[in-house]
Amino acid sequence: MYCSEHMSNDDRKNLKPIFPKGYEFPKEPRLQVKKIENKEDYMDMFLEADPSENMIRRYLSDSDVYALKMEDKIICIAVILPISKKVLELKNIITKEKYRNKGYAKILLKSLCGNYKQKYNKMLVGTTENNIPFYVKQGFDKYEKTIKNYFIDNYDKEIWDGKLKCTDIYYYSKNLVESKK
Ligand SMILES: CC(C)(COP(=O)(O)OP(=O)(O)OC[C@H]1O[C@@H](n2cnc3c(N)ncnc32)[C@H](O)[C@@H]1OP(=O)(O)O)[C@@H](O)C(=O)NCCC(=O)NCCS
């Protein structure tokens, strides 16, 4: 029966779509979070969020690096440094440009925070002014401190984030135990 005007409600419920033989249903790409051991290989990605290799090397060896992967492709990567028995710091997070604004950084952070909350109770992040709204959205909603002139004192070159010249760094934190984000 093809003419819907002549279908009863029962007919409609029983109607199943017919697919040609051999039709393959598109599969949902599978996302997984994986720990990365060969951290140095991702320096180019880290440099997109933190433009000094020297600064990255200060934290990279003591940090854990995790990637959100779709099949074999890396989509987003995050660097997390334990700074005390109960506190971690998110040092770097980057989504590859073509995958931005699709919710991938949010997925990676949510997964990492969910795991780290077994052992840690707070995650800090230091950020430029432009990125504060992004972190607040991810639950880093407690203002901790500002370090004045951080980018001037620690980097050889001037750092620009879009049209904003970076001078101070702003620290925010996320309560891993209570946050639902
Ligand atoms: C910042 C960055 C990691 C965000 O990654 P992303 O995968 O595009 O982020 P998501 O799509 O998961 O965004 C999650 C939410 O934050 C919002 N968001 C993303 N970037 C934002 C920004 N710069 N400011 C404000 N909100 C932002 C999104 O709109 C989304 O909001 P929604 O949940 O209401 O839809 C990515 O833009 C990036 O790699 N930038 C370059 C490197 C960098 O600057 N890293 C951070 C500096 S430490």
Domain boundaries, the chain: 25-175
Of ligand 1's atoms, which has the minimum distance to the CA of residue 48? 42
Answer whether residue 9 shows pLDDT above 70: no
Q: How far is 128 from 155, CA to CA, in rounded Å?
A: 14
Tokens 């020297």, residue?
Answer: 54
| Res 14: pLDDT | 65
Q: How far is the CA of 24 from the centre of ligand 1 (A)?
A: 34
Token pair of 1 as six digits = 């029966």
> Measured in Å, how far apart are the chain's first and last C-alpha atoms?
48
| Res 11: pLDDT | 64
Token pair of 94 as six digits = 């980057």
Ligand 1 atom 39: the closest Cα is on which residue? Answer: 94
Residues with a CB atom less than 6 Å from ligand 1: 48-49, 76, 93-95, 100-106, 127, 131, 133-134, 137
In terms of Cβ atoms closer than 10 Å to its own Cβ (0-12, 13-18, 19+), residue 78 is buried
| Residue 155 · residue 117 · CB < 8 Å | no
| Segment 59-103, tens digit of pLDDT | 999 999 999 999 889 999 999 999 999 999 999 999 999 999 999
| Residue 75 · residue 96 · CB < 8 Å | yes
Q: How far is the CA of 135 from the centre of ligand 1 (A)?
A: 8
Find the range with the poorest average confidence among 25-29, 75-79, 138-142. Answer: 25-29
Q: What is the mean pLDDT of residues 131-145?
A: 97
| Segment 92-131, tens digit of pLDDT | 999 999 999 999 999 999 999 999 999 999 999 999 999 9
Answer whether residue 16 shows pLDDT above 80: no
Q: How far is the CA of 127 from the centre of ligand 1 (A)?
A: 13
Answer whether residue 165 shows pLDDT above 90: yes
Which strand (E) or helix (H) includes residue 123? strand 122-127
pTM: 0.86
Q: Does domain 25-175 have CATH number 3.40.630.30?
A: yes
Residue 163 CB contacts under 8 Å (≥ 6 apart), including other chains: none
DSSP assignment of 8-61 equals -HHHHHH------TTPPPPPPPPEEEEEES-GGGGHHHHHHHS--HHHHHHHHT
Q: How far is the CA of 100 from the centre of ligand 1 (A)?
A: 7
Q: How far is 80 from 115, CA to CA, in rounded Å?
A: 12
